[in-house]
Amino acid sequence: MEKFTTVTGIVAPLDRPNVDTDAIIPKQYLKSIKRSGFGPNAFDDWRYLDPGEPDMDNRSRRVNKDFVLNQQPYEQAVILLARENFGCGSSREHAVWALEDFGFRAVIAPSFADIFFNNSFKNGMLPIALDANVVEDLFNKVNGKKGYQLTIDLASQKIITEEGDEIEFDVDEFRKYCLLNGLDDIGLTLNHADDIRAYEEQRKQSAPWLF
């Protein structure tokens, strides 16, 4: 997993509440058995005016020029700014893979759906929940200047604006540790293999029908 330490870059404003994972990556692309290559179809129904299918050449499709990620300079955005309940709906991790493949490293919103939030950390992507009025301020800044940039410093848990203001954010200790070091959860868990075996032995006594 890619480490997340400090990220600086353009913020794309996606001014909608309840952006669901069906919108982030429509179902026809979930047929892939790979983990990469979803970026060109991130937000497919919003980015294109005609329907898309896997393996289609997107250059032949009609682009929706009104959609924010089709406008310059947001094709280079690395931070996505959104409204409440971002990532609701299905558990598809393809949603995170699509955002990551597009180039995003962080999403800032007032709130996130639990599964999306969790999936993000497994892929070096940082979801940051901030008060709705702080998010509103950021929307004003970003809408006020195309190409507005933020810096996210995970170690100090701060977002630094272009004006030099600092916004603090919360993140779980354990998740922060894994992101900063790019650690693979499975390896960490297998360090506790003896504990897992001990638990199984005890459960075989107390609830043998589970084995």
Partner 1 sequence: MSGKTLYDKLFDAHVVRTEDDGTALLYIDRHLVHEVTSPQAFEGLRLANRQPWRADAALAVPDHNVPTDVAERAKGITDPVAKKQVEALDNNAREFGITEFDMNDIRQGIVHVIGPEQGATLPGMTLVCGDSHTATHGAFGAMAFGIGTSEVEHVLATQCLIQKKMKNMRINVEGTLGTGVTAKDIVLAIIGEIGTAGGTGYAIEFAGSAIRGLSMDGRMTICNMAIEAGARVGLVAVDQTTIDYVKGRPYAPKAELWERAVAAWSALVSDDDAKFDSEIMLDAASIKPQVTWGTSPEMVVAIDDTVPDPAQESDEVKSSGMEKALDYMGLKAGTPMNEISIDKVFIGSCTNSRLEDLQEAAKVINGRKLAENVKLALVVPGSGLIKQQAEQQGLDKIFSDAGFEWREPGCSMCLAMNADRLEAGERCASTSNRNFEGRQGQGSRTHLVSPAMAAAAAIAGHFVDVRNF
Positions in the binding site for partner 1 (CB under 8 A)? 16-18, 20, 22-23, 26-28, 30-35, 45, 51, 54-55, 83-85, 88-94, 96, 111-115, 118-119, 122-123, 172-174, 185-186, 189-190, 192-193, 195-196, 199-200, 203, 206-211
Torsion angle of the four alpha carbons 122, 98, 116, 50, in this order, in degrees rounded to the nearest 10: -170
β-strand partners of 80: 12, 107
Angle at 18 between CA 15 and CA 21, to 5 degrees: 105
Smallest gap from residue 26 Cβ to partner 1 (A): 6
Smallest gap from residue 117 Cβ to partner 1 (A): 9
Considering beta carbons, is residue 10 or 29 the nearer one to partner 1? Answer: 29
**Nearest residue to 19 (alpha-carbon basis) of 98, 122, 76:** 98
Considering beta carbons, is residue 61 or 141 the nearer one to partner 1? Answer: 61
Find the largest Cα–Cα distance for the chain: 64
Query: How many other CB atoms are found less than 10 A from the CB of residue 168?
Result: 10
Considering beta carbons, is residue 4 or 112 the nearer one to partner 1? Answer: 112
Token pair 């950390």: residue: 121
Smallest gap from residue 14 Cβ to partner 1 (A): 12
Smallest gap from residue 10 Cβ to partner 1 (A): 23
Smallest gap from residue 98 Cβ to partner 1 (A): 13
**Do 122 and 185 form a contact (C-beta atoms < 8 A)?**
yes
Considering beta carbons, is residue 59 or 209 the nearer one to partner 1? Answer: 209
Alpha-carbon distance 45 to 165, whole Å?
36
Considering beta carbons, is residue 156 or 190 the nearer one to partner 1? Answer: 190
